[in-house]
Amino acid sequence: MPARPDYWRILTQPLIRQNPVTLQILGICSALAVTTTLVTSLTMSVSLTVVLTLSTGIISAIRRHIPDSIRLIVQIVIVASLVIVIDQILQAYFAEISRALSVYVGLITTNCLVLGRTEAYARHHFPIPAMIDGFGNGLGYSLILIVIGGLRELLGKGALFGIQILPLADAGGWFTPLSLMLLAPSAFFLLGLLVWAIRWILPEQAEASEHPEALRPEPAE
């Protein structure tokens, strides 16, 4: 391990280049479920980033004391305790948002992103870089959530943060809300298109075809 790891790189790498959602396929479940409005996406992003940063820090601090055979259980219990704290805070101070998020806050426990980062990074690094890595991945996740949440709320309701931006046709404006944007399929489509856009800009992320020989043109007869 180098004497002084490049903290800036650890922080910015997961934003687009190593984005946890679009490249590592981690934490997709909650990324899609809570993005009907920008407020819920933002709450979820903040909760996940806090849990991820703290849990990678804690696990990295005690990484030498966790027996290898039971480390998954130990990690899950640490994550679950942090999630309970966040859930109680949300229920106490943001009751409405907490109801809108339903069970998805609790599901941060089993969010593959959290366990993925603690397993892949925090277990082998010092607490400070581990926390920076957790924070960076949290930001990368938040970025995707906010983009999708913003698009869905803007196109589905013509609003952002509940404030009307596009004048609705019902109220004399020109915008007819696309109610499909509020339903489940649109989240899949938007994330698929987002993945495509990122891979179009960064072609090295594209996956190789599974059957390259099937795509080769037929030999001329």
Give 77 or 95: the residue with its C-beta nearer to another protein: 77
Of residues 38-67, those binding another protein (CB under 8 A): none
Give 80 or 168: the residue with its C-beta nearer to another protein: 80
Instruction: Tell me: does residue 77 bind another protein (CB under 8 A).
Output: yes
Instruction: Tell me: does residue 203 bind another protein (CB under 8 A).
Output: yes
d(C-alpha 78, C-alpha 96), whole Å: 27
Q: Which residue's structure tokens are 């920008």? A: 38
Of residues 112-171, those binding another protein (CB under 8 A): 112, 115
**Site for another protein (CB under 8 A): which residue of 170, 210, 218, 221?**
210
Least Å distance between CB 53 and another protein?
19
**Site for another protein (CB under 8 A): which residue of 67, 172, 185, 219?**
185
Strands (DSSP E) along the chain, which ranges?
A: 159-160, 163-164
DSSP code at position 163: E
Tokens of 173: 């404006």
The alpha-carbon radius of gyration of the chain (Å, integer) is 20
First to last CA, the chain: 59
Least Å distance between CB 84 and another protein?
6
CB-based contacts of 182: which residues, under 8 Å, 6+ apart? Answer: 36, 152, 156, 157
Give 79 or 132: the residue with its C-beta nearer to another protein: 79
Closest CA to 56 of 48, 68, 46: 48
Closest CA to 158 of 178, 186, 144, 188: 178
Contact set with another protein (CB under 8 A): 22, 25-30, 32-33, 72-73, 76-77, 80-81, 83-84, 87-88, 102-103, 106-107, 109-112, 115, 183-189, 191-193, 195-200, 203, 205-211, 214-215
